[in-house]
Structure 1
Amino acid sequence: MTNEQTVEKPKPLKRGMLDNVLEQFNSAADKIDLNPNVRKILSITNTEIIIHFPVRMDNGEVEVFTGYRVQHNNALGPYKGGLRYHPTVDIDAARALAMWMTWKTSLAGLPYGGAKGGIQIDPSIYSKGELERITRRFTYALGENIGPEHDIPAPDVNTNDQTMAWIADTYMSTKSTSERSKNQHVVTGKPVGSGGLEGRDRATGYGVYLTIKFWSEKNNETLKGKKFIVQGFGNVGYWAAHFLENEGALLVGVQDAFGSVQNQKGITVEDLFNYGKANNGSIVGFPEASAMEGKDFFALDCDICIPAALGNQITKDNARSIKASLIAEGANGPTDVEGEKILIERGITIIPDIMCNSGGVIGSYFEWLQNRNGELWQMDEILEKLEKKLRTTFKKVTAYSEENNIDMRTAAFSIAIARIEKAYILRGIFP
C-alpha cells in the first residue's frame, strides 16, 4: 500500500496593472533602443508616499484610512495625475497609474511628469460630511508633497470637482494670506466658480470621442449608424456617448458597477443619464433596455467598444468574444497584455489609453495655465484647443505606427519615452 499525496499545482497569479505597464514600457523601450541608464530610471518611481490617517465619523467613532501618492517621474515638469477613491487603490495600482501618466503627459507634449494616488475606500458608504473630513485630513497629511509647481492632483474614479475644491481650500489654508492666491492651481478639475475650467468636466470623454472620430475619418468612414457600447457610465463614459450620439452613432449597451443593459435598437444617452441620476447612479432597471449577464457584455454586437471603468477589464478570458472592430480606451489600462495580443491577432484596432483619454490632462493643463496667468477661457476656445492638440497627437502616433509597422500602443509609448530620454540626455544626471 502506497501513501501517495497529490500535490496541487499552484494557480498562476493574475497579472496586475503594474505588470502590464512594465511590459508595455519594456516592449517600446526595446523598439527605440532606449538608453540603458534612462531605462533604469524610468523603470521605477521617484517617490512613494503611504499615509495612515485618522478621521472622526458622524457617529463619533474614529476610523483610520490609508492614502497613497506615487510620483513616477518629473523630467519634463511637475508631477500630474488624479486621485481616486476606491477599494482597489493600493501601492501597485498607484505605481502603474503614475507610470501611465508619465507617458500620457509626454505624448501630449505637456510640461508635466506623472503621478497618481488616492484613498483605499468605498466612498458610497460615507456621508458627504465624512468624505469632506477624509479629503481634508488626507490633503493636510500630504503637506508639501503636493504643490502647484511640484505635484498637481486632479479628479479620477469616485472623485470630482467638489473633492478638488476641498483639497484646494485645505492646501491654501496652510499658506500665509499673501501666498494663498498663488496656490489655487495646486489641483485641477475644480468647480468653475472656484477657479475651474469651463468644459473640464467633459474634456476626457470629448477626447475619447475625438480620437474615434479621427480614426473614422482616416479610414474614410462615418460615425453615423455605428453601434457602440460603453463600460462605465460615469463622467468619461457619459460624455463620450453624448458626443458620439450627436454624430449619429447608436449606443446599444452599457455596463456600470451595478449591472449591464442592452438594446440593439438604441439607448438614448440623456434618458439613461437622467435615469441613473434618479437611481443613485445605477442603470439597473432602465425601462428602454433589457438586463444582461455582465460576463457577456463585451460580446455584444457592436462596431465600437469603449472601456471607461477600471483597469484589466479586457483579458484573455473575454478578448476572443469581442465583436467590435475598434476599442477606444477611456479608462487607464483597461486591456491587459494577454488580451491585447489576442485582439491584435484578430485585427481589432485599439486606440491606447495614453492617447485616447488624454483630453482630461490636456484640459487640466489649460486650467493650470488659466489660474497661473489670471485668465478666463471660454468653452468654445477650450474645445477648439483640445481638438487641435489631440489631432496633432493622433496624426503623430498613426504615422509612427504605420512607418514602423507596429501597433498604436507601442507607437504611442515609443514617442512618449523618446521625449523623456531626450530630456535626460540633454540635461545629464546629477551630479
Structure 2
Amino acid sequence: MLTVKNEPKKGMMENVMEQFNKAANHIELHPNIRKILSITNNEIVVNFPVKMDDGSVEVFRGYRVQHNNALGPYKGGLRYHPTVDIDAARALAMWMTWKTSLAGLPYGGGKGGIQIDPKKYSTSELERITRRFTYALADNIGPEHDIPAPDVNTNSQTMAWIADTYMSTCPPAERSANQHVVTGKPTESGGLEGRDRATGFGVYLTIKFWANKNNIDLKGKKYIVQGFGNVGYWVSYFLEKEGAILVAVQDAFSSIENQEGINVDSLFKHIQQTGSVSQFENTIEIEKDNFFKTECDICIPAALGNQITEENAGDIKAKLIAEGANGPTTTEAEKILLENNVTIIPDILCNSGGVIGSYFEWLQNRNGELWQLDEVMLKLEKKIKESFEKVYDYSKKENIDFRTAAYCIAIKRIEKAYIQRGIFP
C-alpha cells in the first residue's frame, strides 16, 4: 500500500525562490548574477522598548530587509502584523525588487515591519511604537537610500509619524529636504493626490487590459474579493463602474455572498461602522473554506500571502485571478490553476500601481511640485499599460505564463545593470 508523505508547507521565501529560479532558468541568467540576486543585501532586526498607556513597558521586534539596490534606493512597505518575521520580510523585499524593475522605476526592493497586532494598542501607543521603531532603524532608511511606504495595517498616519521622527533627527537646514523619506503620506504632509487608490486602480486596470485583449466585456461579470481594505475597496469601486458585479467578500472575520450583487460603497460604510463585512445586509454568511468555491468570473485575492494553495486551487471557478496582495498564490497552487486554464495576473504586475504612485510622490517631494489627481491617474494608467503590454507580448512570444514573463523582464533589466556596471572592485 502506497504511503503518502505529507510534505511541510512552503514558506513565502521558498515560493519566491522557486518563481525566481524558474524565470532565471528560462533566460539563462548569468550564474554570478543569480548568486547576487538569490540573497539579500542587508537584514536589519531591531528590538526596542516602548512605554504603554498604563506605564508598563513592552519590547517589540521590528524588521527591515533590503534585498537589492542595483537600480536605485530600496523601496517597499512596512506592515504591522503578527505574521511579520525575517522569512516573510525577505520574500516581500525580493518581490519588491522584481516589482520596481518591471515597472521601470529607479528603485530596488526592501520590506519590513513590526511583529504586532495593532488592534491591541491605542492610537497613542501605536504612535510611540512607530516613532521608536523609526529611531531604532536610524540611518538604515533615508530618501536616497531606503524609502518605506504603507502596507498591511499601516497607513498615511503611520507614514506621517515616520517622516516627522526622521526629519527631527536631521540638522534643521536639511529637515524639509528629507520629506520624501517615506511615501504614502497624507496629502497635507506632502502626500500624493490619488495615492490612496493607486494600488486598487492598478489592479482594476490590469483586469481591464486583460479583458480587452480577450474581447471580454466586464459588464455583468461576477467577481469575488478577499480582503476589503484599501486595495479591495478601490478595485471594487472601479470594477463596479464598469458594470461588473461583486458577489462575495472575505475578511479576517467573515465571508459573505450575494449572487445578485453587493453594493461596494454600502459595504465600505458598513465596514467603517462595524469593523467587518459580517452581517452586511442582504448577504448570507458562507464558510471560510468555501470562499474560493464561489461561482464567479474573476477572483481578486487582496489580503495576505499564501491564501490560494494546492488544497483550494482546484475549487476556484474563476477564469482570471488578479493578485491584489503580494504572494497570495503558492507555487503548487499555480501549477493546478495553469493546468485548469486559469489566467493569473501576477502580483508584481497586478498591484504595482502602489509603488508607481509612491514614485510619483517621491518625485513630487523631491522637485517641490504639486500634482493634480487627474494628472496622477493618467500617468498611472500610462505606466501600468506599458508594463502590461510588455508582459503580455513576452508571454505570447515565449509561450510562458504571465508570472514567468514578468519575472524574466524584471530580472533581465537588473542583469543588464550589473553587466554594464560590473562588480566592485
Query: Do Structure 1 and Structure 2 share a fold, with TM-score over 0.5?
Result: yes
1:315 matched residue in structure 2: 309
Matches of 2:50 and 2:312, distance apart in 1: 41
Local SS of the residue matching 2:308: coil
* Alignment length (residue pairs): 423
What amino acid maps onto 1:416 in structure 2? A
Which residue of structure 2 aligns with residue 18 of structure 1? 13
Ranges in structure 2 where 5+ consecutive residues have no aligned partner: none
1:50 and 1:419 map into 2 onto residues whose CA distance is 30
SS at match of 1:67: strand
User: Partner residue of 2:81?
Assistant: 86
- Aligned-partner Cα distance in 2 for 1:39–1:12: 27
Give unpaired runs (5+ residues) of structure 1.
1-7
Distance 2:285 2:271 in 1: 15
- String of CA shifts for 1:247-285, please: whole Å, max 9, x gaps: 100000000011100000000000000000000x21111
Q: Give yes or no for the alignment of 1:406 onto 2:400.
A: yes
Pick the aligned partner of 2:206 from 205, 208, 211.
Answer: 211
Paired residue type of 1:222: D
Shift in alpha-carbon separation, 1:421–1:56, aligned structure 2, 3 A? same
Partner of 1:253, secondary structure, is strand
* Alpha-carbon RMSD: 0.9
Q: How many Å apart are 1:331 and its aligned residue?
A: 0.2
- The correspondence for 2:230, drawn from 214, 229, 235, is 235
User: What does residue 337 of structure 1 align with?
Assistant: 331
Q: State the match for 1:192 in structure 2.
A: 187
Could you tell me how far 1:325 is from its partner in structure 2? Answer: 0.3
Does residue 367 of the first structure (1) align with residue 361 of the second (2)? yes
1:288 Cα deviation after fit = 2.1
One-letter identity of the residue aligned with 2:390:
K
AA at the equivalent of 2:318:
A
TM-score when normalising by structure 2: 0.99
Work out which of the residue numbers 267, 279, 282 in structure 2 matches 1:272: 267
Q: Deviations over 1:93-145 (max 9, x none)?
A: 00000000000000000000000000000000100000000000000000010
**1:155 matched to 2:155:** no
3-state SS, counterpart of residue 229 of structure 1: strand
Which residue, out of 405, 415, 419, partners 1:425? 419
The separation in 2 between residues aligned to 1:180 and 1:288, in whole angstroms, is 52
2:173 corresponds to: 178
Offset at residue 9 of structure 1 (A): 9.4
Alignment of 1:293 onto 2:293: no
Aligned match of 2:410 in 416, 419, 424? 416
Match of 2:162 among 167, 192, 196: 167
- 3-state SS of the aligned residue for 1:158? coil
Q: CA deviation at 1:165?
A: 0.1
* Aligned twin of 1:71: 66
1:51 correspondence with 2:32: no
Aligned pair partner of 2:114 in 116, 119, 122 = 119
Distance 1:59 1:139 in 2: 22
Rounded Cα–Cα distance in structure 1 between residues aligned with 2:314 and 2:105: 36
**Alignment partner of 1:332: what SS?**
coil
Secondary structure of 1:429's partner?
coil
Provide the secondary structure at the position in 2 that maps to 1:382. Answer: helix
Tell me what 1:3 maps to.
none
The aligned residue for residue 354 of structure 1 is 348
Deviation digits for residues 279-328 of structure 1, max 9, x if unmatched?
0x211111121100010000100000000000000010000000000000
CA-to-partner distance for each residue in 1:25-67, whole Å, 9 max, x for gaps? Answer: 0000000000100000000000000000000000100000000
Task: Give the match for residue 284 of structure 1.
Answer: 278
Percentage of identical aligned residues = 74
User: What is the CA-CA distance between 1:13 and the residue it aligns to?
Assistant: 1.5
List, as ranges, runs of 4+ consecutive aligned residues in structure 1 with deviation greater than 4 Å.
8-11
Task: State the SS of the aligned residue for 1:184.
Answer: helix
Work out the CA distance in 2 between the residues paired with 1:267 and 1:173. Answer: 46
CA displacement, residues 185-223 of structure 1 (integer Å, 9 cap, x when unaligned)? 000000000000000000000000000000000111111
> Matched residue of 1:313: which SS?
coil
Residue 98 of structure 2, aligned match among 103, 106, 114? 103
CA distance, structure 1, for counterparts of residue 216 and residue 287 of structure 2: 32
Match of 1:253 in 2: 248
**Structure 2 CA distance, aligned partners of 1:115 and 1:99?**
7
TM-superposed deviation, 1:11: 4.4
Distance 1:180 1:113 in 2: 24
| Distance in 2 between residues matched to 1:430 and 1:288, nearest whole Å | 63
How many Å apart are 1:363 and its aligned residue? 0.1
State the alpha-carbon separation in 1 of the partners of residues 29 and 36 from structure 2: 11
- CA drift of 1:12 comes to 2.2
Match of 2:36 among 33, 36, 41: 41
Superposed displacement of residue 336, structure 1 = 0.3
Q: CA deviation at 1:10?
A: 7.6
Shift of 1:176: 1.0
